[in-house]
A and B are shown apart, each in its own frame.
Chain A
Amino acid sequence: MERIDNLFHSYANRSLGMIDPEGIETLCSDMEVDHTDVRILMLAWKMKAEKQGYFTLEEWRRGMKALRADTVSKLRKALPELEKEVKRPSKFEDFYSYSFCYCLTEEKQKSIDIESICQLLDLVLGSHFRAQVDYFIEYLKIQSDYKVINMDQWMGFFRFCNEISFPDFSNYNPDLAWPLILDNFVEWMQLKQT
Chain B
Amino acid sequence: MGCENIEFDQGWGEMEKGIEKLKRILAGEKETPFTSREYMTLYTTIYNMCNQKAPHDYSEQLYDKYKETLDEYITSIVLPSLKDKHDEFMLRELVERWLNHKIMVKWLTRFFHYLDRYFIIQKSVPALNEVGTTCFLNLVYEDVHPTIQDIVLSLIDKEREGDQIDRALLKNALEIFVEMGLGQMNRYQDDFEARFLQETTNYYSRKASKWIEEDSCPDYLLKSEECLKKEVDRVSSYLHSSSETKLIKKVQHELLVLYVNQLLEKEDSGIKVLFRDDKVDDLSRTYRVYNKISQGLDLVANVFKQHVTIEGTAFVQQAEEATSNQASNTPGGHEQVLVKNILELHDNYMTYLNSCFQNHNLFQKALKEAFEVFCNKTVNGSPSAEILASFADHILRKGGSEKLSDEVIEETLEKVVKLLQYVIDKDVFAEFYRKKLARRLLFDRGTNDDHERSILSKLKQQFGAPLTSKMEGMVTDVVLAKEHQSSFQEYLRNNPDVHPGLDFTVTVLTTGFWPSYKWFDLSLPSEMVKWVKVFKGFYETKTKHRKLTWIFSLGTSHINGKFEPKPIELIVSTHQAAVLLLFNASERLSYSEIVAQLNLAHDDLIRLLHSLSCAKYKILNKEPSSKSISQSDSFKFNPNFTDKMRRIKVPLPPVDERKKVIEDVDKDRPYAIDAAIVRIMKSREVITHQQLISETIEQLSRMFKPNIKAIKKRIEDLITRDYMERDRDNSHMFRYLA
> Residues on A close to B: CB < 8 A?
110-111, 150, 152-153, 155-156, 159, 174-177, 179-180, 183
Q: What chain A residues lie within 8 Å of B732 (beta carbons)?
A: 176-177
Interface assignment of B53: CB less than 8 Å from any CB of chain A: no
Beyond A152-B726, A159-B731, A183-B709, whether A176 also contacts B690 by CB under 8 A is: yes
Q: What chain A residues lie within 8 Å of B709 (beta carbons)?
A: 180, 183
Beyond A152-B726, A183-B709, A183-B712, whether A175 also contacts B720 by CB under 8 A is: no
Complex Cα distance, B733 from A155, in Å, reads 14
30 interchain pairs, CB-CB under 8 A? A110-B720, A111-B720, A150-B716, A150-B719, A150-B720, A152-B716, A152-B719, A152-B720, A152-B726, A153-B716, A155-B726, A156-B731, A159-B731, A174-B708, A175-B690, A175-B693, A175-B708, A176-B689, A176-B732, A177-B688, A177-B731, A177-B732, A177-B733, A177-B734, A179-B716, A180-B709, A180-B712, A180-B713, A180-B716, A183-B712
Complex Cα distance, B716 from A150, in Å, reads 9
Q: What chain B residues lie within 8 Å of A179 (beta carbons)?
A: 712, 716
Shortest Cβ distance from B733 into A: residue: A177
Shortest Cβ distance from B719 into A: residue: A152
Complex Cα distance, B731 from A177, in Å, reads 7
Closest CB of chain A to B364's CB: distance in Å?
A: 28
- When A and B form their complex, which 10 residue pairs have the shortest distance between CB atoms, in order from nearest? A177-B689, A177-B732, A180-B712, A152-B719, A180-B713, A150-B720, A159-B731, A152-B726, A176-B732, A176-B689
Residues of B696-738 whose CB lies within 8 A of A = 708-709, 712-713, 716, 719-720, 726, 731-734
Q: What chain B residues lie within 8 Å of A150 (beta carbons)?
A: 716, 719-720
Residues of B646-697 whose CB lies within 8 A of A = 688-690, 693
Closest CB of chain A to B689's CB: distance in Å?
A: 3
Q: What chain A residues lie within 8 Å of B689 (beta carbons)?
A: 176-177
Complex Cα distance, B275 from A88, in Å, reads 71
Closest CB of chain B to A132's CB: distance in Å?
A: 17
Complex Cα distance, B732 from A111, in Å, reads 21
Q: What chain A residues lie within 8 Å of B716 (beta carbons)?
A: 150, 152-153, 179-180
Complex Cα distance, B715 from A153, in Å, reads 12
- Please name 8 further chain A to chain B contacts, defined as beta carbons within 8 Å, in addition to the given A110-B720, A177-B733, A179-B712, sorted by A numbering: A150-B720, A159-B731, A174-B708, A175-B690, A177-B726, A177-B734, A179-B716, A183-B712
Q: What chain B residues lie within 8 Å of A110 (beta carbons)?
A: 720
Q: What chain B residues lie within 8 Å of A177 (beta carbons)?
A: 688-689, 726, 731-734
Shortest Cβ distance from A111 into B: residue: B720
Q: What chain B residues lie within 8 Å of A174 (beta carbons)?
A: 708
Q: What chain A residues lie within 8 Å of B708 (beta carbons)?
A: 174-175
Complex Cα distance, B689 from A177, in Å, reads 5
Closest CB of chain A to B86's CB: distance in Å?
A: 65
Closest CB of chain B to A97's CB: distance in Å?
A: 11
Closest CB of chain A to B641's CB: distance in Å?
A: 57
Q: Which of A150, A153, A155, A180 has most chain B Cβ within 10 Å?
A: A180
Complex Cα distance, B272 from A10, in Å, reads 93
Q: What chain A residues lie within 8 Å of B693 (beta carbons)?
A: 175
Closest CB of chain B to A67's CB: distance in Å?
A: 28
Q: What chain B residues lie within 8 Å of A156 (beta carbons)?
A: 731
Complex Cα distance, B733 from A5, in Å, reads 46
Complex Cα distance, B533 from A158, in Å, reads 67
Q: What chain A residues lie within 8 Å of B720 (beta carbons)?
A: 110-111, 150, 152
Complex Cα distance, B712 from A36, in Å, reads 36
Shortest Cβ distance from A150 into B: residue: B720
Complex Cα distance, B714 from A180, in Å, reads 10
Complex Cα distance, B689 from A159, in Å, reads 16
Complex Cα distance, B456 from A94, in Å, reads 57
Complex Cα distance, B268 from A134, in Å, reads 63
Closest CB of chain A to B714's CB: distance in Å?
A: 10
Q: What chain A residues lie within 8 Å of B734 (beta carbons)?
A: 177
Closest CB of chain B to A3's CB: distance in Å?
A: 39
Q: What chain A residues lie within 8 Å of B719 (beta carbons)?
A: 150, 152
Shortest Cβ distance from B730 into A: residue: A177
What mask results when residues 260 to 284 of chain B are scored 1 for a CB within 8 Å of chain A, else 0? 0000000000000000000000000
Complex Cα distance, B716 from A155, in Å, reads 13
Complex Cα distance, B667 from A60, in Å, reads 52
Closest CB of chain B to A21's CB: distance in Å?
A: 29
Residues of B134-167 whose CB lies within 8 A of A = none
Complex Cα distance, B720 from A153, in Å, reads 10
Complex Cα distance, B716 from A110, in Å, reads 13
Shortest Cβ distance from B721 into A: residue: A110
Closest CB of chain A to B708's CB: distance in Å?
A: 6
Shortest Cβ distance from A148 into B: residue: B720
Complex Cα distance, B713 from A111, in Å, reads 16
Q: What chain B residues lie within 8 Å of A111 (beta carbons)?
A: 720
Shortest Cβ distance from A181 into B: residue: B716
Closest CB of chain B to A56's CB: distance in Å?
A: 28
Closest CB of chain B to A182's CB: distance in Å?
A: 10
Q: What chain A residues lie within 8 Å of B713 (beta carbons)?
A: 180
Complex Cα distance, B717 from A110, in Å, reads 12
Shortest Cβ distance from A174 into B: residue: B708
Complex Cα distance, B689 from A180, in Å, reads 13
Closest CB of chain B to A176's CB: distance in Å?
A: 6
Complex Cα distance, B731 from A176, in Å, reads 10
Closest CB of chain A to B713's CB: distance in Å?
A: 6
Closest CB of chain B to A90's CB: distance in Å?
A: 15
Closest CB of chain B to A144's CB: distance in Å?
A: 14
Shortest Cβ distance from B734 into A: residue: A177
Complex Cα distance, B355 from A110, in Å, reads 63
Residues of B22-77 whose CB lies within 8 A of A = none
What mask results when residues 628 to 653 of chain B are scored 1 for a CB within 8 Å of chain A, else 0? 00000000000000000000000000
Residues of B290-328 whose CB lies within 8 A of A = none
Shortest Cβ distance from A145 into B: residue: B713
Shortest Cβ distance from B728 into A: residue: A155
Closest CB of chain A to B495's CB: distance in Å?
A: 58
Q: What chain A residues lie within 8 Å of B731 (beta carbons)?
A: 156, 159, 177
Complex Cα distance, B719 from A156, in Å, reads 13
What mask results when residues 579 to 590 of chain B are scored 1 for a CB within 8 Å of chain A, else 0? 000000000000
Complex Cα distance, B713 from A152, in Å, reads 12
Q: What chain B residues lie within 8 Å of A183 (beta carbons)?
A: 709, 712
Complex Cα distance, B734 from A193, in Å, reads 33
Shortest Cβ distance from A153 into B: residue: B716
Complex Cα distance, B709 from A179, in Å, reads 10
Shortest Cβ distance from B714 into A: residue: A180
Closest CB of chain A to B196's CB: distance in Å?
A: 48
Shortest Cβ distance from B712 into A: residue: A180
Closest CB of chain A to B388's CB: distance in Å?
A: 31
Q: Which of B688, B689, B720 has most chain A Cβ within 10 Å?
A: B720
Closest CB of chain B to A157's CB: distance in Å?
A: 12
Q: What chain B residues lie within 8 Å of A153 (beta carbons)?
A: 716
Shortest Cβ distance from B709 into A: residue: A180
Complex Cα distance, B693 from A152, in Å, reads 18
Closest CB of chain A to B597's CB: distance in Å?
A: 46
